[in-house]
Structure 1
Amino acid sequence: MRIGLLGTVRTINPAVRPELHAGLPVGTELSAWPSRVGVFPATPVEQAMQAVGHLEAGLSAADAGVDAVVIDSVADYGFAALQAALAIPVVGSGEAGLAAAARHGRFAIVTVWPRSLNFGPQSLLQLYGLEQQCLGIRNVADEAVLDSLAGSDGYLGRVNRADGSIMSQILTAIDDAITQGAEAVMLGCTCMSPMAAKVAVATRVPVINPLFEGVKKAVALAESRAGNGADRPVTTDRADLVRRMVDAIAGEVDENCPVCVVAAEM
């Protein structure tokens, strides 16, 4: 079973998102399909640009023969367009993670990002009608972290290593959410996937890793689709036009989008 992760950067580590493999069926292969749109999604404008980048990555993954694709971002960049363009299953980590959290009752979202980036999960809560069930988004970082993302000593490197101070802030935020009545907590970014197991061990309510939920759902959908005949992997006649649009900006300097760069230092 081949699952393409859209937005994940290829890395010198041969295993893509190695923390996920223990919970997946034997033989599941995860492959990285980066967005070639290197803009940081700081506002809805850049978020829309990332939607095009993820669409183009999904078209490439489907052409390469993956069985399903997962958007490696809680913001689910390009979800609707990907579903319209591909014949294979398309899963959003945000969609799958929120659904898993909601099954436990009232839940909270805890994220390593500042409040300025909350528009992504907030839009999904509205889309799926979960605003009342969610007890809020708890941010463990201030805006200053956006100025020091890259490098082994940058904020993303610290998140990836589950730095002690960051872990402490996350656990404090989770305890506060539980005090307020949360019956589950969803991690608010797929970049938190490497620390998900450590957080879960230290927490007394279910901790939802949205990326794992997305991959698990993609595997199930791909398995149910197998044997029903091979559809064309791409169903849109706009694929070449999308690629030309992305080609126009693909050479710009990468702004270290957190959706993309975390895997590069695993």
Structure 2
Amino acid sequence: MRLLLINPNTSQATTQAMVGIARESAPSVEIDGLSAPFGVPLITGPAELAIGRDAVVTLMAARPPFGYQGVIVAAFGDPALDELRRTVAVPVTGIAEAGMAEAAHHGRFAVVTTTPDLTESIAARADAYGHGDSFLGTVLTAVRQLGARAIVIGGGPLAVAAREIANQLPVPVIEPVPAAVRLAIRRAERTAQEM
């Protein structure tokens, strides 16, 4: 199986870090990565998220994912997820979508983020994915104060932080890139069975 991980920002180092995280979570799957052809090196707010969306749409129009069984959009705002689902022939998975879905299996959850300007976007995504009732917000104190049953790390390349936080919390900490790989594999397998 082959998956394509698309980083909606221009940082090659970030792309390679997320590809490494993805490969570690599924060693038997071939995972390649592409960075946005234009835009910003770090998505920190709604304007950068919109630029990332445009960059991903442009990238996939120029380089359709031929030979891949799934595509992962690897920015926590899932930019261009809906557009790609309408235009590419393979299942498309967002890291926020996958992380939130996995966390919601545990009950109420929160998202830890280093980008406070994206908290409204994260809340909107949680609602759009049907997790509005389970989503408690984007605060680390959610475990103790709000009763979160899981935490989602709100950024693809933050695996080290996720692992450090996991040791300090009594609830599951969901890394979004491995969650997206797991969901993308399930979707690709389901698509292959339907053919």
TM-score with structure 1 setting the length: 0.63
Alignment of 1:133-212 (within 5 A): 133-138=134-139, 173=140, 176-180=141-145, 181-212=147-178
* 1:50-103 Cα distance to aligned partner (Å, 9 max, x none): 21211233342513x222100001100001110000110100111111111111
Instruction: Give the structure-2-normalised TM-score.
Output: 0.84
* Larger Rg, first or second structure (1 or 2): 1
- d(CA) in 1 for partners of 2:16 and 2:123? 34
Decide whether the 8 Å contact of 1:71 with 1:91 is kept in 2.
Answer: yes
Q: CA deviation at 1:120?
A: 2.5
The equivalent of 1:217 in structure 2 is 183
**CA deviation string 1:27-72 (max 9, x = no partner):** 2111111111223545434322221211233342513x22210000
CA distance 1:90–1:182, shift in 2 (3 Å)? same
The whole-number CA distance in structure 1 between the counterparts of 2:55 and 2:129 is 24
1:57 is aligned to 59
SS of residue paired to 2:65:
helix
Partner of 1:2: 2
Deviations 1:88-143 (A, max 9, x none): 01001111111111111111111122x222233122023134333222112xxxxx
Q: Which residue of 1 aligns with 2:83?
A: 81
Q: Unaligned stretches of 5+ in structure 2?
A: none
- Aligned residue pairs total 189
Q: Identical aligned pairs, as a percentage?
A: 29
How many Å apart are 1:10 and its aligned residue?
Answer: 4.3
The structure showing larger relative contact order (alpha-carbon pairs under 8 Å, at least 6 residues apart) is 1
| Aligned amino acid, residue 191 of structure 2 | R
Q: Which amino acid aligns with 1:71?
A: V
Flag structure 1 segments of 5+ consecutive residues without an equivalent: 139-172, 230-266
The alignment yields a C-alpha RMSD, in angstroms, of 2.5
2 CA distance for matches of 1:28 and 1:6? Answer: 16
